[in-house]
Amino acid sequence: MATTNTSIIITSTTPTVAFTTPPIYAGRLAHLLTVKGFNPLSSPTLIVQYTPSTTSALKPYLSPPSLDLFSAIAFPSRTAIAAFSAAADDIAPPLLSADGEAFTVAALGKDSELIDDNFARKLCQDRGRVRILIPPIATPTGLVQSLGDGGGRRVLCPVPVVLGLTEPPVVPDFLRELGAGNWVPVRVNAYETRWAGPECAEQVVKKIKEGDLDAIVFTSTAEVEGLLKSFKEFGLGWESVKNWCPKLLVAAHGPITAAGAKMLGVRVDLVSSQFHSFQGVVDSLHSEISRLR
């Protein structure tokens, strides 16, 4: 955990913690916050989902023998796995031929829970041909490093198309790093990440103006941009937010999110050093709030 603000004093009995996580992930984070004794306030600034259009874009890469042209698939998010599975449901298994080189399926942290034996057997009847790779560092860079040298082989990359917001550098950097690692990354826009709309921060704004918000958790850079965009609709800038609610702690789920927030002008007070799951940022926040009481 890294802290930068030591002047904040938390006095409320049950601290209110807002989080901007998309609905697909919000339930898990809300549960972890509740267990730690926080009052969670879900305020999704993004909608992350696959659509008929993105599913159609992905299917040609899964229809046999198309997937045999790849040596690996790299999932940068949980939604990427869900999008892949949804597209694969309409295609008769297996997606890979029985013979051929080992096929690597790479996923990050808790996302890998979606890749079970049924998932692997959907890919290939020979379970031994499918290698599941979970990098020890749950970041796109960690995933690239775990994949190793690509030797000029192709890797399928189901990634989001960003709508209504600036595309964060995470995906372009991920694809660039794969290329630098001698892989041939093939980008497929497998799902959408889009702004949740002008009213998405309404409840957060209300709490801020009441001076009744203790912390806010960001789990991606796009969430930060989405929140600031909604704040603007309510006539708020980040500096005015801090004036209304000077005790506000800002927590980031990992260094990539923290760096993105800083680029957007939002100072982060603490960064989770354990970012393979949301438990890390919740534990860090709990420790910091306990210290400041």
Question: Do 143 and 6 reside in the same domain of the chain?
Answer: no
Residue 46 pairs with which residues in a beta bridge?
Answer: 195
Q: Which two tokens stand for residue 187?
A: 């980008």
Which pLDDT does position 227 carry in this prediction?
97
Residue listed under structure tokens 């984070």: 29
Span 40-69, mean pLDDT?
96
Tell which of 180, 195, 210 closes a domain. 195
Residue 57 and residue 40 share a domain = no
Model confidence over 154-190: pLDDT tens digits? Answer: 999 999 999 999 999 999 999 999 999 999 999 999 9
Same domain, 39 and 61: no
Answer yes or no: do 260 and 130 share one domain. no
What CATH number should be reported for the domain holding residue 285? Answer: 3.40.50.10090
Beta carbons of 109 and 25 less than 8 angstroms apart: no
Residues 156 and 271 both lie in one domain: no
Mean residue pLDDT of the chain comes to: 92
Which residue, 151, 176, 195, sits at the end of a domain? 195
Are both 40 and 66 inside the same structural domain? no
Mark which of 170, 195, 220 sits at the end of a domain.
195
Q: How far apart are alpha carbons 124 and 153 in whole angstroms? A: 19
Domain of 55, in residue numbers: 49-195
Residue 259's CB is within 10 A of a number of other CB atoms, namely: 15
Rounded CA separation 32/279 (Å): 7
- Dump pLDDT digits (tens) for 77-100: 999 999 999 999 989 999 999 888
Question: What is the reported pLDDT for 291?
Answer: 86
Tokens of 258: 């923290």
Concatenated DSSP letters of 203-214: HHHHHHHTT---
Query: Considering its fold, how many domains does the chain have in total?
Result: 2
Model-level pTM? Answer: 0.86
Residue 151 and residue 211 in one domain = no
* Same domain? 204 vs 238: yes
- Across residues 7-33, what is the average pLDDT? 83
Compute the distance between CA of residue 242 and CA of residue 240 in angstroms, rounded to an integer: 5
Query: Residue 30 pLDDT > 70, yes or no?
Result: yes
- For residue 205, the model assigns a pLDDT of 96
Distance of CA 49 to the CA centre of its chain: 12
Residue range 70-75: average pLDDT? Answer: 98
- 23 shares its domain with 61: no
Which pLDDT belongs to residue 19?
98
Q: Are residues 155 and 253 in the same domain?
A: no
CA dihedral sign of residues 194, 200, 201, 203:
negative
Which strands, in side-by-side order, build the sheet including 46-49? 46-49, 184-195, 154-163, 72-74, 103-106, 130-133
- Considering the domain architecture, whether residues 114 and 191 belong to the same structural domain is answered as yes
Q: Could you tell me if 131 and 230 lie in one domain?
A: no
